[in-house]
């Protein structure tokens, strides 16, 4: 297995409920290292750019409203098999389908307010990291 990087977001439903630290603890316990992190509040144009591939989906408009409704924490995670490992720790998209002990099972509110984002492929990770961080902000 290779050392990979992936883009993680702690979503507005989780920052609102003060769950940032608890979520980071889960990621770290799984062997993922936070090598870059910042708390930001997206404008509509930021969310639209990030979720571009979802444009046209029935949930897209509401997703943009949700992702700009409060602060988020964007992170670069690094570790062995980081992309798949993060998806495993996150759990399935809809919290009702997520496995026991996953972030989305324990903290997710519903299909939309599911507390976290994680890149789903090496290509997506590269693109999403570049969208959210300058090279100099990724400090290791």
Tell me how far, at minimum, the Cβ of 108 lies from ligand ADP, in Å: 9
Site for Mg ion in 81-140 (CB under 5 A): 120
**Which of 31, 84, 112, 126 is close enough to bind ligand ADP by CB under 6 A?**
112
For residue 8, state whether it binds ligand ADP (rule: CB under 6 A).
Answer: no
- Alpha carbon of 118 to those of 66, 83: distances in Å? 17, 7
- Residue 25 parent element (H or E): helix 20-29
**Which residue in 6, 117, 118, 129 is the catalytic one?**
117
Cβ partners under 8 Å of residue 103, min gap 6:
23, 26, 89, 90, 91, 115, 116
Return the one option of Mg ion, ligand ADP, none that residue 114 interacts with (CB less than 5 to 8 A, by type): ligand ADP
Tell me how far, at minimum, the Cβ of 81 lies from ligand ADP, in Å: 17
CA–CA dist 35, 20 (Å, integer): 16
**Which of 68, 81, 109, 111 is close enough to bind ligand ADP by CB under 6 A?**
111
CA–CA dist 41, 136 (Å, integer): 20
For residue 63, state whether it binds ligand ADP (rule: CB under 6 A).
Answer: yes
Are the beta carbons of 11 and 118 closer than 8 angstroms?
no
Catalytic residue check, 54: no
* Burial call 56-66: b when 16+ CB within 10 Å, e when fewer: eeeeeeebbeb
For residue 120, state whether it binds ligand ADP (rule: CB under 6 A).
Answer: yes
Residues near ligand ADP (CB under 6 A): 54, 59, 63, 93, 111-112, 114, 117, 120
Where do contacts with Mg ion occur on this chain (CB under 5 A)?
120
Residues annotated as catalytic (active site), given as ranges: 117
């Amino acid at each position: 297995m290779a050392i990979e990087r992936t883009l993680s977001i702690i979503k507005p439903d989780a920052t609102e409920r003060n769950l940032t630290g608890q979520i980071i603890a889960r990621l770290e316990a799984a062997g993922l290292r936070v090598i870059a992190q910042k708390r930001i509040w997206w404008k509509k144009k930021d969310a639209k750019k990030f979720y571009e591939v979802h444009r046209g989906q029935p949930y897209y408009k509401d997703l943009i409203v949700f992702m700009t409704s409060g602060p988020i924490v964007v992170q670069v995670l690094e570790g062995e098999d980081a992309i798949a490992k993060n998806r495993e720790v996150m759990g399935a998209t809809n919290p009702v389908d997520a496995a026991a002990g996953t972030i989305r099972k324990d903290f997710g509110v519903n299909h939309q307010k599911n507390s976290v984002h994680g890149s789903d492929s090496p290509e997506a990770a590269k693109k999403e990291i570049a969208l959210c961080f300058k090279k100099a902000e990724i400090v290791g």
